[in-house]
A and B are shown apart, each in its own frame.
Chain A
Amino acid sequence: MGRTIPLPMLILAVLGFCYMLLPILVVVLAGLTAGEFLTFPPEGLSLRWVVAFLQSEKYLSAFFFSFRLALLTMIVATILGTAAALFLSRTRFIGRGAMRAFFLSPVVLPGVVIGFSLFAFYISTGIGLTRTIWGLWIGHILYSTPYVIGTVGAALASYDVSLDEAARSLGASPMRTFRKITLPNISQGIQAGSIFAFIVSFGQFEVSLFLSAPNAEPLPIAMYNSLRYKFDPSAAAAGIFAIILVTASVLLTNRLVNIGRLLEKK
């Protein structure tokens, strides 16, 4: 079988992958250093910082807190983002473009601005969300939802609406049409959006800096604190576990979706 893409494009693609993957390699190797400090190249290889991470109550609680937070954020962001994308793609009204820009604005604005704005909003309204886990969760949802809107919106843009019309003409209710026709066809977009939401929430730093609750430190904040006060490679070791988690999430989601498709075919 012949090559399907031109050689220059192939070279560019390989270089692009290297560019994206090298920082990950640096994190992994830095976390496996035998030295005292977070440096690259590592001073020998050792699992001592991985063990230190696994024995650190602080890191482990931050890791699992971030995991739970990202999971809950992903669920809500996926529902809200999908609904918003459907609304934007299926309704025609003046100002739709402006509304789309409004929905996507959390991605455009710096995270620090969003974090501080929400912090100030919680305080000025006195709704009891200042420095609470709920307040932090809302911040993460706000920041993650546009990624779902973007990917689901892209899936809907290439979606043939006549499929829905055919289903309706055959007597399917709007809900049944959505469940049986629309949803399966845009599932790839939803899947990609939910993964994005999870990853963005798991790695979110700026919003968390202002909204995180006492005694509930997300992993990026814990890593930042470690770098501020110790600069030992346990932060990189934590990074290794974060990379493993995110990769596993992507693979697992892919697998679940594929299984769903197989079942559907049967």
Chain B
Amino acid sequence: MTTKKTLHTRRSFLQRSAALGAASAIPSTFYINHAWAQDTSYDGGVFDAGGATLNVGEWGGGWEEFVRKALTDQFEKDFNCKINWDSSFPWFPKFVTQGAQDPVFDICNWNLPNLTQTKQAGDFFLSTDEVRENVPNAADCWDFAFASGAGVTWAYMPYVYAYRTDRGDAPNSFRDFWADRFANKRGTYGTENGLMHAFFMATAQEFGKDQYDMAAAFQALEDAMPMKVSEFTFNMLSLLERGEVDIAVHIEGEALSLKRKGAPVDVWQWDSHPILTQTKTISRYADPMQKKLAFALLNRTLSPEFLNAFGDEFMWRPTNSKATITASLAENGVENTAAATEAFWVPDWDFFVENKLDITERLNQIFGL
């Protein structure tokens, strides 16, 4: 048997190294999802996705059960696709770890503070303008639906105080939360809860020069102690129902759901009118078919039919001007008009995220956590 002798020279080594280098560059040459994806467009019609899978990041529990029945089950049939639903929040570490080029979800639903945090960490999402061009129903949305700069806000709720109606006068100013009669009977949330983030910004706005006055907010929250600190909004409702809390930071729809059940509870909307939003983003580097499906799903999410059904179930308000306010909110004078939405305030979440570590640390100190 003869053996072929290989001569290892400096030249051959360099040649092989160069070849390896070129080979390793091949995957990035083929990484052209982005180029294709930019050409992806959607006109609002139904199309056959050929059984493609759409990765969706969305809330779980009862929310998922309802949205599946009211939206995605039919969507899968109409578009011949499969929805991979992931409700294991938080999304931020998943997006960042997997990287922008290989998005963990094609379409994802967010609260604004978390969305802002992710948006600041990289080029993950299509811009609002890019989304608007491909989602026909977005044309009917109020302007504040695009305030995030990434994705479209499809539903919202004002932040309110939920209070017991059988414990004295109703609050009529933001500062009533600090009244002596509510000592140890006022409720707020842990530092990771979005309601606490909004409450912090609104407190800064009320007690300080503006929403950026963190020192004033810290002082005010210190003055508000002792407070009952909960993790979840529904847990807060149970504290309200049992009378362990007389006034609590909350969101309109959920608090009114308790009133609907007959509890002596009502809501008061803050003067600054901040809103809790649900915003869907579409990943910039999603594959073309997935991106087209994401446009289609967002379009259906923004449809008056779905928003009306969703509002009836969870009492969220729609951002689509053609959708209607659910009857129980409309009875309380809530309208879906340009004038009614003018006063809404979206806190500067970019500022909040940039200072989140300091805010969290200090709030934990105040709460004794």
Partners in one complex: yes
How far is it, in angstroms, between the C-alpha of A210 and the C-alpha of B241 when the chains are bound? 34
Across the interface, do B238 and A39 meet the contact criterion of CB distance under 8 Å? yes
Chain B residue nearest to A39 (CB atoms) is B238
The yes or no answer to B234 lying at the interface (CB within 8 A) is yes
New A-B pairs, 9, CB < 8 Å, besides A231-B238, A232-B234: A36-B261, A37-B238, A215-B84, A222-B61, A226-B60, A227-B232, A227-B234, A227-B235, A231-B235
Of A85-93, A115-123, A143-151, A192-200, the stretch lying at the interface with chain B is: A115-123
How far is it, in angstroms, between the C-alpha of A209 and the C-alpha of B56 when the chains are bound? 16
Interface bin, chain B: 20 to 34
The yes or no answer to B85 lying at the interface (CB within 8 A) is yes
Given that A229-B234, A231-B235 are known contacts, is A209 also in contact with B88, CB under 8 Å in the complex? yes
How far is it, in angstroms, between the C-alpha of A210 and the C-alpha of B98 when the chains are bound? 12
Across the interface, do A131 and B235 meet the contact criterion of CB distance under 8 Å? no
Within the complex, the shortest CB–CB distance from A204 to chain B, in Å, comes to: 13
Given that A214-B55, A215-B84 are known contacts, is A229 also in contact with B61, CB under 8 Å in the complex? yes
The yes or no answer to A243 lying at the interface (CB within 8 A) is no
Across the interface, do A214 and B232 meet the contact criterion of CB distance under 8 Å? no
Across the interface, do B85 and A214 meet the contact criterion of CB distance under 8 Å? yes
Across the interface, do B60 and A215 meet the contact criterion of CB distance under 8 Å? no
Chain B residue nearest to A58 (CB atoms) is B65
Across the interface, do B234 and A37 meet the contact criterion of CB distance under 8 Å? yes
Across the interface, do B98 and A225 meet the contact criterion of CB distance under 8 Å? no
CB pairs A–B below 8 angstroms (27 shown): A36-B261, A37-B234, A37-B237, A37-B241, A38-B235, A56-B65, A58-B61, A58-B65, A120-B97, A131-B86, A210-B94, A212-B88, A214-B55, A214-B56, A214-B86, A215-B85, A217-B60, A221-B60, A222-B60, A225-B59, A226-B60, A226-B62, A228-B59, A228-B232, A230-B62, A231-B232, A231-B235
Given that A131-B104, A210-B88, A231-B232 are known contacts, is A226 also in contact with B61, CB under 8 Å in the complex? yes
Across the interface, do A119 and B85 meet the contact criterion of CB distance under 8 Å? no
Interface residues of A (CB under 8 A from B): 36-39, 56-58, 116, 119-120, 123, 130-131, 208-210, 212-215, 217, 221-222, 225-232
Chain B residue nearest to A56 (CB atoms) is B65
The yes or no answer to B333 lying at the interface (CB within 8 A) is no
Residues of chain A with a CB closer than 8 A to B241's CB: 36-37
Chain A residue nearest to B105 (CB atoms) is A214
Given that A215-B85, A221-B87 are known contacts, is A123 also in contact with B61, CB under 8 Å in the complex? no
Contact with A along B52-74 (1 / 0, CB 8 A): 00011001111111000000000
How far is it, in angstroms, between the C-alpha of A222 and the C-alpha of B242 when the chains are bound? 26
Q: Report B83-116 residues with CB < 8 Å from chain A CB.
A: 84-89, 93-94, 97-99, 102, 104
